[in-house]
Amino acid sequence: MEDLPIYISLLFGLTLIGTIVWFYYASKSKTFLIVAICWTLIQTFLGLSDIYQYTEVIPPRIMLFGVFPTLIMIGITFLTAKGRIFIDQINLKTLTYFHSIRIPVEIVLVLLFYQGVVSVYMTFEGTNFDLFSGVTAPVVAYFAYRSIKQNKKLLLLWNIICLLLLLNVVITAVFAFPSPFQKLAFEQPNVAVLYFPFNLLPSVIVPLVLFAHLVALRQLTKRKKQNSTK
């Protein structure tokens, strides 16, 4: 990992900052910004301490200390009254444009693949079709909001498709990761996420993208139910 060109880490760093700032712009929540920064600092410390590089335990440490806590935080946000208030005030238009951040993520993954530290399955040259989400995000946002009335059907369909594409990437990543769960990419597994700064991809960026889709689905289905009861 020490031999990686510095521009890859710089591009990833800018993508990480862009992800947090863009989501903050959609939510306008200082609490979110504080939590996101603190969590990023924690993950930075864990990545630099090499704690994730031992992968023979079940579950792998990157999942135990990096992924599972974010899923718990997302669950708590949806299950608490204050959390739902936070979710419902997030600007859905900005949140749709937010998914354009997946374009530089995919570029980073391709660059890491050519450096031999990420599986081809994690790129658009393999079975990762998540680039579709990033490229179509501004297009969908434009057509969904070009008139006064929000195109809820378009947003709902697009968020479902992109959520499924994200889940495909996550499942593939687990199977191509050097751990007891590995089923793919034995010659070139996903080792980049074991090292800083790329451990921030599964522990910060991916959870925020997942959360963005879940927020959108809640807002869209909630409004649909409200309209049907009127």
Evaluate whether 87 touches 218 at the Cβ level (below 8 Å): yes
3 vs 7, 87, 108, CA distance in Å? 12, 41, 15
Average pLDDT over residues 188-195: 88
pLDDT value of residue 138:
97
Mean pLDDT of the chain: 92
The domain spans of the chain are 6-229
Where does the pLDDT of residue 127 fall: very low under 50, low under 70, confident under 90, or very high at 90 and above?
confident
Average pLDDT over residues 159-168: 96
What is the largest distance, in Å, between two alpha-carbon atoms of the chain?
A: 61
The answer on pLDDT for 28 being more than 50 is yes
Model confidence over 212-226: pLDDT tens digits? 999 999 999 986 555
Greater model confidence, 184 or 26:
26
The answer on pLDDT for 177 being more than 80 is yes
What is the SS3 string spanning the chain? CCCCCHHHHHHHHHHHHHHHHHHHHHHCCHHHHHHHHHHHHHHHHHHHCCHHHCCCCCCCHHHHHHHHHHHHHHHHHHHCHHHHHHHHCCCHHHHHHHHHHHHHHHHHHHHHHHCCCCCHHHCCCCCCCCHHHHHHHHHHHHHHCCCCCCCHHHHHHHHHHHHHHHHHHHHHHHHCCCCCCCCCCCCCCCCHHHCCCCCHHHHHHHHHHHHHHHHHHHHHHHHHHHHHHC
Average pLDDT over residues 10-29: 97
129 vs 4, 124, 162, 208, CA distance in Å? 25, 6, 9, 18
Is residue 52 packed enough to be buried (19+ CB in 10 Å), middle (13-18) or exposed (0-12)?
A: buried
Structure tokens, 215: 């927020």
Calculate the CA dihedral of residues 44, 46, 47, 50 and round it to 10 degrees. 150
Average pLDDT over residues 166-193: 83
Q: How far apart are CA 38 and CA 32, in angstroms?
A: 10
Prior bond of 197 cis (ω within 30°): yes
Lowest mean pLDDT among 7-11, 82-86, 225-229: 225-229
pLDDT value of residue 53:
87
Where does the pLDDT of residue 227 fall: very low under 50, low under 70, confident under 90, or very high at 90 and above?
low
pLDDT value of residue 224:
56
pLDDT value of residue 230:
43
